[in-house]
């Protein structure tokens, strides 16, 4: 940077400091504020143009490297103190106005959008306006000629300056358009230049993509575009997770029978005021044992209070379960020889005491300790011993239920153990009823299936699970069951096509 350019910019900064000092803006009238905003906008657009031109006239790769940065985006984030989105926007405009060098003469070649570049340098166009004007034309650039693109460039540059031409060729100046107005004009030009549009299927294929955003307010955004068939497949997966009781072949489910206070119910005992139902009969909330409709007060939620999640939250949790299933599938590609693995790091004392925070790979910042507890319940804990920063010991405690144990638990419980939740057990995570950290074994007598959501909310939802002789029992929150009875799961015999619980037990 020449000393003259540096001196000019230093003077601008000094003048701005004076304008901001001594509360000088507080005494402005409304009209003066409007004028000041206009001048500030003109200054802001020229500063943006200065950033773009500084980068566009340098080497796209060597310049950031020479400054000690990996990329142009990192260089902008560090020097201008902008965020990733701001740096990305500058980078996109740089690509539009960069002027290459002729290999023959060594002279700089015209920019891809020469007229709009000049309008930007003159302060008539902001970065947002530049992108708004060029984006619709860039989408069809492979279907129009260079001359057509350059004509659109001149038309849009005139519009950005507030210039329009009459039918007689007279030039009239007016107010500059907003960014939205530039977008509308560019889209109109694109429709005129390419009236037929894409061939069927071309545009969706080119626009497809998924972006996972940075952490903000404890969450990361996901956005993008899916091709219709991929979207349909995902919707089917989410529907299957959230509504697995739809039409299909008979599938034994899980219902719950009650027990006496302090005493477990016998396997197959039906809950109906002390009355044992006839073979093949289901309990009906109205007291009619012959009702054919599958109604069970402990396996349905007529008040819709057991699951208070929104539809969007249910879709999120269903997608989380599907991702977990895919990660452990044998066909999933490996990373470094292992399945894609989420690594959660936590101090051993914090995990034991239930206090503090944890950190997860890719999470950018600390996550609640409960995340470590949930991951540890279904994963493997590896203990790493440090001494003043040096690793001096590594041990591994295998606590993942084997494929054979999972199959046995799935065959026993069929569904998520929480009443009213019908997510098939094969889609669930296997929960240690007695936590491994408290001596609980990784054994079928200590494992039950819980869907992604109920597994993570178990500690705060009021539901309790215990094992008795290898049989899981559930007790719900008091608002759901004022009697606070432990209830044992049993097969829904009518759906299984078996006459009675005892007959099913003998058949097994």
Confidence of residue 260 (pLDDT cuts 50, 70, 90): very low
Rounded Cα distance, 274 and 263, in Å: 14
CA 481/CA 70 separation, integer angstroms = 60
**Does one domain contain both 45 and 191?**
yes
435 and 292 both lie in a single domain? yes
Per-residue confidence at 299, pLDDT binned at 50, 70, 90?
very low
Which structure tokens are listed for 319? 């997608």
Digit-coded pLDDT (tens) for 407-422: 899 888 888 888 877 7
Looking at the fold, whether 286 and 421 belong to one and the same domain comes out as yes
pLDDT of 86 over the 70 cut:
yes
Q: What is the mean pLDDT of residues 289-309?
A: 47
Choose the weakest-confidence range: 45-49, 267-271, 300-304, 432-436: 267-271
Burial class (CB in 10 A: 0-12, 13-18, 19+), 171: exposed
Examine the pLDDT at 243 and tell me if it is beyond 90. Answer: no
Residue 433 has pLDDT above 80, yes or no: yes
Q: Write down the pLDDT at residue 352.
A: 65
Tell me which range, 116-120, 314-318, 409-413, 437-441, is most confidently predicted by mean pLDDT: 116-120
- Would you say residue 457 lies in a domain? yes
Residue 291 predicted with pLDDT over 70: no
**Residue 97 pLDDT exceeds 90:** yes
| Residue keyed to tokens 């809950």 | 271
| Co-location of 171 and 283 in the same domain | no
Q: Are 445 and 433 in contact (CB under 8 A)?
A: no
Integer Cα distance of 80 and 73 in angstroms = 10
Looking at the fold, whether 54 and 129 belong to one and the same domain comes out as yes
Pair 386, 281 in one domain? yes
The owner of tokens 């608002």 is: 479
Q: What is the pLDDT of residue 202?
A: 53
Query: Which residue has better confidence, 382 or 46?
Result: 46
Domain count, the chain: 2
Check whether residue 159 and residue 271 sit in a common domain: no
The per-residue pLDDT for 440 is 81
Domain that holds residue 131: 32-101+110-195
Residues 493 and 353 occupy one common structural domain: yes
Q: Which of 6-15, 39-48, 483-492 shows the lowest per-residue confidence on average (mean pLDDT)?
A: 483-492
Q: Provide the whole-model pTM.
A: 0.51
Query: What per-residue confidence (pLDDT) applies to 117?
Result: 95
Of 207, 203, 151, 155, the closest CA to residue 182 belongs to: 155
Q: Is the pLDDT of residue 87 over 90?
A: yes
Mean pLDDT to the nearest integer, 451-473: 87
**Measured distance CA(175)–CA(157) in Å, rounded:** 14
Q: What is the pLDDT of residues 128-161, one digit of tens each?
A: 999 999 999 999 998 999 999 999 999 999 999 9
Q: Which of 222, 209, 223, 219 is nearest to 364 (CA)?
A: 219
Smallest Cα–Cα separation from 269: which of 507, 496, 489, 497? 489
Among residues of the chain, what percentage have pLDDT more than 70? 65
340 has a pLDDT exceeding 60 = no
Tell me which of 172, 195, 218 is where a domain ends. 195
Say if 226 falls within a structural domain.
Answer: no
Q: How confident is the model at residue 121 (pLDDT cuts 50, 70, 90)?
A: very high
In this prediction, residue 94 has a pLDDT band, given cuts at 50, 70 and 90, of: very high
Mean pLDDT of 451-461: 83
- Rounded Cα distance, 474 and 418, in Å: 7
DSSP structure class, residue 104: T
CA–centroid distance for 65 within its chain: 32
DSSP string, 200-241: TTHHHHHH-EEEEEEEETTEEEEEEE--HHHHHHHHHHHHHH
Q: Which two tokens stand for residue 397?
A: 């405690």
pLDDT digits (tens, 9 = 90+) for 157-214: 999 999 988 878 788 888 889 999 999 999 999 999 988 776 555 555 667 788 888 7
More confident residue, 94 or 244: 94
Residue 158 domain-assigned (yes or no) = yes
pLDDT higher at 355 or 182: 182
Residue 96, pLDDT score: 94
Question: Has residue 205 been placed in a domain?
Answer: no
Give residue 472's pLDDT: 92
**Residue 307 shares a structural domain with residue 382:** yes
Annotate 368-433 with three-state secondary structure.
EHHHHHHHHHHCCEEEEEEECCEEEEEEEECCCCCHHHHHHHHHHHCECCCCCCCCEHHHCEEEEC
* In a shared domain, residues 70 and 151: yes
Identify whether 491 is part of a domain.
yes
Single out the residue in 141, 168, 195 at which a domain terminates.
195
Judge whether 66 lies within some domain.
yes
Residues 127 and 270 in one domain: no
Amino acid 114: pLDDT: 95
- Provide the 8-state DSSP code for 438: G
In a domain, 245, yes or no: yes
Quick one: pLDDT at residue 237?
A: 75
% residues pLDDT > 90 (the chain):
27
Average pLDDT over residues 269-291: 36
- For position 332, what pLDDT does the model report? 65
Average pLDDT over residues 448-476: 87
Residue ending a domain, choose from 133, 161, 195: 195
| Contact (Cβ atoms closer than 8 angstroms) between residue 499 and residue 506 | no
| Position 74 pLDDT exceeds 80 | yes
Mean of pLDDT values over 79-97 = 93
Residues 468 and 409 in one domain: yes
Higher pLDDT, 48 or 26: 48
Distance (Å, rounded) from C-alpha 166 to C-alpha 1?
A: 44
- Tell me, yes or no, whether 10 lies in a domain: no
pLDDT at 316 (0 to 100): 80
Mean of per-residue pLDDT scores for the chain? 75
């Amino acid at each position: 940077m020449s000393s003259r350019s540096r001196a000019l910019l230093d003077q601008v900064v000094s003048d701005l400091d004076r304008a901001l000092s001594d509360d000088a803006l507080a005494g402005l009238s409304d009209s003066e504020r409007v004028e000041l905003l206009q001048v500030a906008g003109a200054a802001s657009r020229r500063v943006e143009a200065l950033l773009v031109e500084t980068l566009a006239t340098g080497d796209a790769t060597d310049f950031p490297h020479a400054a000690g940065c990996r990329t142009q985006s990192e260089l902008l984030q560090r020097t201008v103190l902008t965020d990733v989105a701001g740096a990305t926007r500058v980078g996109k405009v740089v690509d539009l106005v960069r002027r290459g060098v002729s290999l023959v003469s060594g002279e700089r070649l015209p920019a891809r959008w020469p007229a709009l570049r000049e309008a930007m340098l003159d302060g008539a166009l902001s970065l947002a306006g530049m992108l708004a004007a060029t984006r619709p034309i860039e989408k069809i650039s492979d279907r129009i000629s260079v001359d057509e693109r350059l004509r659109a460039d001149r038309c849009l540059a005139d519009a950005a300056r507030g210039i329009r031409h009459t039918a007689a060729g007279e030039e009239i100046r007016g107010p500059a358009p907003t960014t939205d107005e530039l977008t509308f004009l560019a889209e109109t030009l694109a429709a005129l230049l390419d009236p037929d549009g894409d061939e069927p299927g071309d545009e969706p294929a080119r626009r497809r993509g998924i972006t996972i955003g940075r952490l903000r307010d404890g969450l990361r955004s996901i956005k993008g575009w899916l091709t219709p068939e991929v979207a349909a497949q995902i919707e089917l997966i989410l529907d299957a997770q959230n509504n697995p009781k739809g039409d299909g072949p008979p599938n034994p489910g899980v219902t719950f029978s009650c027990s006496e206070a302090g005493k477990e119910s016998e396997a197959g005992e039906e809950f109906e005021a002390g009355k044992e139902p006839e073979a093949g009969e289901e309990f009906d909330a109205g007291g009619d044992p012959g009702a054919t409709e599958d109604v069970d007060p402990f396996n349905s939620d007529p008040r819709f209070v057991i699951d208070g999640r929104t539809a969007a939250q249910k879709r999120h949790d269903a997608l989380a379960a599907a991702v977990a299933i895919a990660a452990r599938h044998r066909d999933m590609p490996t990373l470094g020889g292992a399945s894609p693995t989420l690594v959660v790091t936590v101090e051993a004392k914090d995990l034991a005491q239930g206090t503090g925070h944890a950190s997860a790979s890719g999470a950018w910042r600390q996550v609640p300790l409960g995340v470590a507890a949930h991951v540890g319940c279904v994963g493997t804990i590896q203990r790493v011993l440090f001494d003043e920063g040096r690793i001096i010991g590594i041990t591994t405690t295998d606590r993942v239920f084997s494929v054979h144990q999972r199959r046995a638990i799935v065959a026993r419980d069929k569904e998520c153990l929480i009443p009213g939740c019908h997510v098939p057990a094969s889609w669930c995570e296997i929960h240690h009823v007695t936590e491994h950290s408290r001596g609980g074994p990784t054994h079928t007598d200590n494992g039950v299936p819980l869907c992604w959501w109920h597994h993570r909310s178990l500690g705060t939802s009021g539901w309790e699970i215990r094992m008795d002789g290898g049989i899981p029992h559930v007790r719900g929150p008091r608002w759901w069951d004022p009697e606070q009875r432990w209830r044992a799961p049993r097969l829904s015999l009518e759906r299984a096509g078996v006459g009675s619980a005892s007959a099913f037990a003998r058949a097994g």
